[in-house]
A = this chain, B = another copy of it.
Amino acid sequence: MGVARSGEAATGREPGARSGRRDQLLEIAAGLFATQGYAETTMRDIADATGILAGSIYHHFSSKEAMLDELLRGFLVDLHERFAAAERENTDPQETLSTLIRISFSCISESPHAVAVYQNESATLQRQEAFAYVGDYGVRIERIWLRVLTAGQEAGVVRSGLDVKVAYLFMRDAIWSAVRWYRPGGQLSLETVADQYRDLLYGGLF
């Protein structure tokens, strides 16, 4: 978009804009993958939306799968890191849980496309060897949540009758599914949704 090609100061690209086309392609692809589905999105769709020809994408990405991989891996690495940091830096289970929920909604807000793609495609993807890491990260993230929930139960702040695994799945699905209907700029602000969700979860959990 508006890439000044002629010479661009002899590749003296300003930091932050980095490899323009590459980022642009990945962003556009993410949007299409999220709304149409990965399989339903063709390289031509991506190319058309970017204003180049399909074959030219291969100068930036080795395959369509590589685009999906980069998108998901970036998202999962970041998400896991943020969750892990939250667990590391907090001691109070209830506080930690609040942070995990807040991080989740931040992600929906910041990378809705990646979240949607993860929601829609991860089940199918995990069966492919190349995307086994998607399942791995899912497990690692689940373990964090389970540890926090268990700690909460031991601290007596989370209901003792609860199966923490069920509670985790319940929370995970409720929260992440919001990406499917949440439209930024719509009637509801993400904060409002996040607050209501927290109340609903807390009322049920504690």
Listed in ascending order, the chain A residues whose CB lies under 8 Å from chain B are: 35-37, 39-40, 120, 123-124, 159, 161-163, 166-167, 169-170, 173-174, 177-178, 180-181, 188, 192-193, 196-197, 199-206
Contact = CB atoms under 8 A, between A and B. Distances in A.
A178 to B, nearest CB: 7
Of the candidates A37, A167, A180, the one having the most CB atoms from chain B within 10 angstroms of its own CB is A37
B180 A196 contact: no
B174 A196 contact: no
Nearest to A203: B204
Contacts of A37: 37, 39, 124
A39 B33 CA distance: 13
A101 to B, nearest CB: 13
Contact of A181 (B35, B169, B174): B169
A81 to B, nearest CB: 24
Of the candidates A39, A40, A159, A196, the one having the most CB atoms from chain B within 10 angstroms of its own CB is A196
B162 A196 contact: yes
A96 to B, nearest CB: 19
A205 B174 CA distance: 14
A192 B201 CA distance: 19
A169 B178 contact: yes
Contacts of A197: 166, 170
Contacts of A161: 199
B174 A170 contact: yes
Contacts of A166: 188, 192-193, 196-197
Of the candidates A166, A178, A181, A202, the one having the most CB atoms from chain B within 10 angstroms of its own CB is A166
A167 B39 contact: no
A180 B123 contact: yes
Contacts of A159: 203
